[in-house]
Structure 1
């Protein structure tokens, strides 16, 4: 029999799950359809598994560098199977928690495992995992189907040759030579991770710099830090052919400004972005508009071109971060359940690149401030001047903070150990509209990383 409910959510991601419980707690009947694994990309393929494995890579690095601190620890032995098993255990515990939360701790939620596709604007047909079909109707529909790895069109690039960012999370051996296509934050995290596991690593990036949205000084410093660990970068390089011989050796042919190069490795990771999961849910049948890349078009309330149908998370484009997806949930909750007016536009965009050291970013970069013609002053400070950095020998990186003519912080790039945490402190100051002088004069505990904020603004000056 068809199921009629108040709320239909397609996708169990970081926006869909809390939305399901919020509507259920408000007395609504909720159906949540998930085709793959509960928790979405963050828990299963993104933040949780990568950061769990990065923690293992960090331990290996600590062992290798222990002698620098007067500790003899021996050679680090990396067991990829054990690393993956630990990652899987962490993920499974989180999946189990999500299922318990949806099915036991909140009444009124029905979870269906299957693929949903629209037949009418407020009707979907779900191909259930067991082979049967189920029709679901609801006046409110929320699309939270997320994204998947984007594979570029390169001659010879077949599935049996490359690994996606999902696949490499389950690799049971340390690659001898890992070639990575893509120098964004995902490619950088994997490059340092596998270098620390013991792989030779080469990163191929089509742009002139890594991290295309960052200032030049941030990009250069990040590249130098990871190069110092032995990662090779090939920039301004366009891969145009991939081949694999009978022994399994992979050759990637790239065009560079210096001429043709052939890179030979044992494994190839494609980390060239993601694409939306919208091509198989029949949006065109019901008039839900998408852009040229397939991302669903929404207004400031996250409503699509069809009234009563909304899109949340990565599937509507824009910055693809878990915290933005969760804020999408808050936008919907406030507007539809709490009677408040909340917009998904013009919200802060903090993010962290979880290399070591971390890059924490909030607000405007210097190039963005210049493009917007916003008057600003900038303060930069090398991390090596911080007492905590010297004590821990984590002296790489620098702080960079922008301040406007009213002494308000308008942006920051913090490249250092705990860079994400320091960035969050600056974000709180920005949210509270505190002048930079408040941080400059605050009594912070010594010796901490936060203490650096006392000295950060000593050389605040106009851009050159």
Structure 2
């Protein structure tokens, strides 16, 4: 076994890790970046998350009026399969071409808190590092029931690369990932049923928003069954039986979407004295330093950060400020940020919901309008949904915004800047927007 030394060792080729590697190189520092899976150069988003899923959604929407759904499905998968390898290759090249960066394909595990063993197919290397950054992401939770390893039971990664369009798709789990896949495969002509073990549909949402989502799902003939527990899968020659507390369902494919866990298996964190919480995420301080280890950081999903690529990028910024700045930036600065679930229409949010604001004892004005009232929605032929803002009665401060409408994923970013800079709701009422756009609907919402 050979032994090498480096200034910086990054474990995992995700958003935070790859961006940090390039920055360290720019500052003349040597970096080893290790990734165990050559199909994951660039991280979850590019390979098995945001980009392939949105590409499939877009391709399905382009051909939504076509009757041959098998052809639509195959064309969408072909377009996605043409794009992702190019992005992966480009991400690898950006780092591999840098003089100070060495990308190694290997599995990593800690020997101690300053030494990591890299194991590849034909080689083993002991790396001692002055600084270590863990950026290994998260993975789908597995369902612990009989038959869960069946050939028709899939998780999100596999659902993005099916070779055949399922006629009947059962989705186990009623969360946001489930919704995106439900809309996606409905575009491909699948019969979609969501089995949700909760008594309340989308419990984090205000009821008017959840009810509008449920109405749209029903209008598209996506079936949602509440208070449903799955206790097994029975595989047959041409279908799989999903056994539940409310009877059996027949499926050609099953998506299990019941949350995610930290991807730390095999890292031997205990040998470095690295502690995890009760959900398996690495424990860090607000500067992302591993507790008790000032030379080790965790970034992105594995650090328990919200599971979004742009939050992983922000984790990189927190670490960068410690290495090359004043070191003042921390997780505490990340008070609010926008999110989007890419349903049809998209569901985008920032800040408090009405329910959360009232629970916090705030005196609020609730501003709400239907998406169909916006001329651009009629132009687009996308009139489903609603827009909603929560405003403090006394200060006119915007506490939260929910945009469940066409182009919500673009519009919501306005409110990050507005809320960070304490721009009052009245400013939005009188803002000048171009016409015809979905954004001009904000004039009426805040009126």
Fold in common (TM above 0.5): yes
Give the aligned partner of residue 80 of structure 2: 87
Query: Which secondary structure does the structure 2 equivalent of 1:6 belong to?
Result: strand
Equivalent pairs counted in the alignment come to 441
Give the aligned partner of residue 70 of structure 1: none
Are 1:179 and 2:182 counterparts?
no
Query: Which secondary structure does the structure 2 equivalent of 1:401 belong to?
Result: strand
Alignment of 1:9-408 (within 5 A): 9-36=10-37, 37-61=40-64, 63-64=65-66, 78-104=71-97, 106-128=98-120, 130-245=121-236, 247-255=237-245, 260-305=246-291, 306-345=293-332, 347=334, 348-404=336-392, 405-408=394-397
Q: Tell me the distance in 1 between the aligned counterparts of 2:425 and 2:323.
A: 37
Given that 1:80 and 1:171 are in contact with CA atoms closer than 8 Å, whether structure 2 keeps it comes out as no
Higher mean Cα deviation, 82-91 or 412-421?
82-91
Given that 2:200 and 2:226 are in contact with CA atoms closer than 8 Å, whether structure 1 keeps it comes out as yes
Q: Tell me the distance in 2 between the aligned counterparts of 1:79 and 1:367.
A: 40
Q: Tell me the distance in 2 between the aligned counterparts of 1:145 and 1:97.
A: 20
Higher mean Cα deviation, 332-341 or 368-377?
368-377
Q: Deviations over 1:344-384 (max 9, x none)?
A: 13512311001110011111111221222233221011111
Query: Which secondary structure does the structure 2 equivalent of 1:145 belong to?
Result: coil
- Normalised to the residue count of structure 1, the TM-score between the two structures is 0.92
Q: Are the structure 2 counterparts of residues 75 and 12 from structure 1 closer, same or farther at C-alpha, using a change threshold of 3 Å? A: closer
Q: Tell me the distance in 2 between the aligned counterparts of 1:148 and 1:317.
A: 12
User: How far did residue 187 of structure 1 move?
Assistant: 0.7
Query: Which secondary structure does the structure 2 equivalent of 1:345 belong to?
Result: helix
Given that 2:152 and 2:252 are in contact with CA atoms closer than 8 Å, whether structure 1 keeps it comes out as no
Gaps of 5+ in 1: 65-73, 459-464
Give the aligned partner of residue 411 of structure 2: 422
Give the aligned partner of residue 2 of structure 1: 3
Given that 1:209 and 1:219 are in contact with CA atoms closer than 8 Å, whether structure 2 keeps it comes out as no
Given that 1:207 and 1:237 are in contact with CA atoms closer than 8 Å, whether structure 2 keeps it comes out as yes
Q: Tell me the distance in 2 between the aligned counterparts of 1:438 and 1:266.
A: 52
- Normalised to the residue count of structure 2, the TM-score between the two structures is 0.95
Given that 2:305 and 2:311 are in contact with CA atoms closer than 8 Å, whether structure 1 keeps it comes out as no
Q: Tell me the distance in 1 between the aligned counterparts of 2:210 and 2:164.
A: 31
Q: Tell me the distance in 1 between the aligned counterparts of 2:284 and 2:150.
A: 33
Q: Tell me the distance in 1 between the aligned counterparts of 2:163 and 2:360.
A: 48
Query: Which secondary structure does the structure 2 equivalent of 1:201 belong to?
Result: strand
Q: Tell me the distance in 2 between the aligned counterparts of 1:382 and 1:282.
A: 52
Q: Deviations over 1:402-422 (max 9, x none)?
A: 112311211111000001112
Higher mean Cα deviation, 345-354 or 180-189?
345-354
Higher mean Cα deviation, 87-96 or 294-303?
87-96
Q: Deviations over 1:159-185 (max 9, x none)?
A: 434011111111111101000111111
Given that 1:60 and 1:197 are in contact with CA atoms closer than 8 Å, whether structure 2 keeps it comes out as no
Q: Tell me the distance in 2 between the aligned counterparts of 1:385 and 1:201.
A: 30
Query: Which secondary structure does the structure 2 equivalent of 1:179 belong to?
Result: strand
Q: Tell me the distance in 1 between the aligned counterparts of 2:201 and 2:135.
A: 30
Q: Deviations over 1:299-352 (max 9, x none)?
A: 100011222111100011242111111100000001221223001135123110
CA-based RMSD of the aligned residues comes to 1.5
